[in-house]
Amino acid sequence: MGVCASSSAPVVLRRSSPHNLSRLRITCIMIRAVIVMNTQGKPRLLKFYDFQPPEKQQELVRSVFSVLSGRAENVSNFVDADAIFGPGTRLVYKHLATLYFIFVFDSSENELAVLDLIQVFVETLDRCFKNVCELDVVFNFNKIELSSNMVPA
């Protein structure tokens, strides 16, 4: 399942227009998952946009954490995730305080645009909680989930 995002005006699809499909291909970001986890690897928010059984989700989270926890602070926030999520998959993360904000997406998408999307998500949470922290995520899960649903849309 894809999630559409665009820096320009929103795309309105009309069934009568033959050009909508090509325009949709240009503006769709194929986000496969949104993960927020702490620095110990405990997931605080998991959203998979393609079905994954719970056991597979936990395996994927462990794999992502093992990759991210072994990375130095001065390296890129962009990671090839072919070995974890399959071919053509990348992940972008942002490490803030005790939380990792991770978006998994199609490799054809611009990594900087996804990193900016993470920044928008974090800024949205900061507005809700005045300096979001792990406890805000744990105790206000409904607000976090609502915000995560609105950011990529």
Total of domains in the chain: 1
DSSP code of residue 10: P
pLDDT of residue 143: 85
The β-bridge relationship of strands 31-38 and 78-80 is unpaired
d(CA 108, CA 138): 33
CATH number at residue 119: 3.30.450.60
d(CA 74, CA 95): 12
d(CA 87, CA 113): 20
Question: Which range, of 11-25, 27-41, 102-116, 138-152, averages the lowest pLDDT?
Answer: 11-25
> Model confidence over 1-37: pLDDT tens digits?
444 444 433 444 444 445 544 444 444 558 899 999 9
pLDDT of residue 53: 94
Rounded percentage of the chain residues whose pLDDT exceeds 90: 49
- Domain assignment present for residue 1? The answer is no
> Model confidence over 92-101: pLDDT tens digits?
999 998 999 9
Range of the domain at 59: 20-150
Residue with tokens 């005790």: 98
- Domain assignment present for residue 9? The answer is no
